[in-house]
Each structure stands twice: as structure tokens, then as C-alpha cells.
Amino acid sequence: MSMQWNLDQLRVFVAVAEQRSFSAVARQQRKAQSAISSAIAMLEDDLGVSLFERSSGRQPSLTEAGDALLEEAREVLRQCERLNGRAMAMVRGQEAQLRVAQDEAMPYQALVESFGALAEQFPSLEVQLTSAAQGEVSRKLVERRADLGLLFYHDEIPEALERRVLGSVEMVTVCGVNHPLAAQSRVNCQQLAQHRQLLMSTQTSVYPGSEPASPQVWRADSFYVMAEWLVRDLGWAWLPRHVVQYSAYQGLMVELDSEWTPPALVVELVWRRDEPLGPAARWLAERFAIHLRAIGGKSR
């Protein structure tokens, strides 16, 4: 079987499958509808299978074979974006500017130390760092307002982005030193439910442990605001290990041995698939991963 199909035909196939309309794809690609239909027909011919059911007057729907091949087609197109991106990176060499968007709750110390090392390694690099709430980081990348994102894992990562796990940050149950719970050697869920809980709340966030464990709750959109409330004995909270270790809170918080703690926050590096990371971005990511592991090592 000879492989005569081309990437344009694959793009048309994926577009029709996603929009369920030959005419919409024709308008979008500024082609005649007959050109779209014939691209699909030629692709079916080359592959030897029929991709769409074509009953008159209905939206095109995928056949079983079409459904099975759709993800393969998407992966071929993704691979092409990666290939183009790699080639572009080779042509460009080291980037002149690096725009980093980070979740505002990223481990601050690890970030600062990583950027310190970056300045030594790439002295001519121009850097721009923005902090944003969870969903905003990936939006900045999609809109090309950032080159590199650091965020906590969540499911709604847009299709145009690649992701890589860098490490994780442990969550701990804490209260202020003068809070009634501070005297307990171990706390269970019933005891926690008797006191006000301070909870993370952002519009788009899916941080682990965003479900309340107490009927009385105060919410803030920053772990550092929660920490300020905590040291004033306004409640107990689940906080990331690095916030508890922050120098300003030393001696003001008690870590509770708790029956349940949310799973660790997974830190991910995110970037656009069609614009791969340059040497400075890759180097920064490696440094940050090393500092994250150090935070994990210091726990306990």
C-alpha cells in the first residue's frame, strides 16, 4: 500500500471531525467546499478506509475507522509541530528574552535561587516574570504572552501545550501556636471539623484539598494570606510545605499530625508545542527541579 496522503489532508480530516461540518471547514480555510470533500475522499482512498458516514442532510459523523484514526492523525500533526519547533530553535540559538508565567503559590525560595543562577549562566538574557492564578498561567502561554509556565498540575491544560512534571510540594495540616488544636498530639477529622478552616479558593483552581473539612470556612485566593490569618489563630489550614517553612512564619505555626492531608501539589513545566524551549528556558527548568527536590528533602 503506497502512502500518498499528505499533511494538508490530515489537517482537513481533523478539522471536519472536530467541527462536524464540511462547509464550516471550507469557510475557515477559505476553500471551496468541493476541495474539502475531495481532500477527504483522497485521504480515504489512500488509507483504504472510509472515515465519515455520509447520509444525506446530516452532519458528517466519524465511522468506527475514522474514530480510531483521529487520535493518530492528531499525533502526526503534533509531531510535525515539534519538528518545526526544534528546527526553529536550532536556527534561533539562545533566546534573547525569556517570559516566565508562574502560579503565585510556587515555592518562592526555589524560584529566587533558580533565577539567581540563571543570571550568572546567561548574563545577556532579558527576563520577565509574571505571577498569576492557576488557570491564567496556561492562558498566557496559549496567547503567546509567556514562553514558559510553572503551575500546579490540573486537568484542563489546553491542547496546544506540552507539559512535564518537575517535582511536587507536600501539603501539611497546620495551625497557629496559640490555637486550641496546637495542644493535640494527633488530630482526627472530627476535631478539625470543630474549628474554622482556612481554605484556598480561586475561580479556576483545582488544588488538592479544596473541599472543606469543617462547616465553618474562611477562603482566600493566596496561600500567604491564609498563612497570615493562621498565625493570628483565625483557624487551621492545609498549606504547602514551602509556605510553612517561609522565614517570616518560623515559630508561629504548629504542624499537626493529622488523620488526613491532601495529596502533594504536583509542579509542572508547561510550554507551547510549536515553540520549544530554548537553552536558557531548559536550564532554568532543571535548576528549579533541583531546588524543588531540596524542599522535599528538608521536610520533616
Q: What is the mean predicted confidence (pLDDT) over 84-89? A: 70
Residues 72 and 217 in one domain: no
Q: Is residue 100 assigned to a domain? A: yes
Q: What is the mean predicted confidence (pLDDT) over 10-19? A: 93
Q: Give the separation between CA 272 and CA 160, rounded to whole angstroms.
A: 6
Of 56, 72, 90, the residue that ends a domain is 90
Q: Is residue 288 assigned to a domain? A: yes
- Whether residue 281 contacts residue 98, with contact meaning beta carbons closer than 8 Å, is answered with yes
User: In this predicted structure, what is the pLDDT of residue 2?
Assistant: 62
Nearest CA among 55, 49, 51, 47 for reference residue 36: 51
Residue 300's pLDDT band, with cuts at 50, 70 and 90, is very low
* Span 89-123, pLDDT tens digits: 666 677 888 999 998 888 888 888 899 999 998 88
pTM over 0.95: no
Residues 81 and 103 in one domain: no
Residues 136 and 276 in one domain: yes
Q: Is residue 249 assigned to a domain? A: yes
Q: What is the CATH classification number for the domain harbouring 49?
A: 1.10.10.10
Instruction: Produce one character per residue of 61-89: b if its CB has 16 or more CB atoms within 10 Å, e if not.
Output: ebbeebeebbeebbeebeeebeeebeeeb
Task: Write out the three cell numbers for 151.
Answer: 503551575
Q: Following DSSP, what letter does each residue of the chain receive, concatenated?
A: ------HHHHHHHHHHHHH--HHHHHHHHT--HHHHHHHHHHHHHHHTS--EE--TTS--EE-HHHHHHHHHHHHHHHHHHHHHHHHHHHHH-S-SEEEEEEETTS-HHHHHHHHHHHHHHSTT-EEEEEEE-HHHHHHHHHTTS-SEEEEE--S---TTEEEEEEEEE-EEEEEETTSGGGG-SSB-HHHHHTS-EEEE--SS---TT-S-SSSSEEEES-HHHHHHHHHTTS-EEEEEHHHHT-GGGTTTEEE--BS--PPPEEEEEEEETTS---HHHHHHHHHHHHHHHHHHHH--
Q: Is residue 1 assigned to a domain? A: no
Q: Is residue 261 assigned to a domain? A: no
**Percent of the chain scoring above 70 in pLDDT:** 91
**Percent of the chain scoring above 90 in pLDDT:** 52
Q: Give the separation between CA 264 and CA 277, rounded to whole angstroms.
A: 27
Among 105-114, 130-139, 196-205, the least confident range: 196-205
* Span 229-281, pLDDT tens digits: 999 999 999 999 889 988 899 999 999 999 888 888 899 999 998 887 889 99
* Span 43-78, pLDDT tens digits: 999 999 999 987 766 788 999 999 999 999 999 998
Residues 186 and 59 in one domain: no
Domain count, the chain: 3
Show the domain range for 64: 7-90
Q: Is residue 284 assigned to a domain? A: yes
Q: Give the separation between CA 95 and CA 279, rounded to whole angstroms.
A: 7
Residues 62 and 124 in one domain: no
Q: Is residue 299 assigned to a domain? A: no
Q: Is residue 210 assigned to a domain? A: yes
Q: What is the CATH classification number for the domain harbouring 191?
A: 3.40.190.290
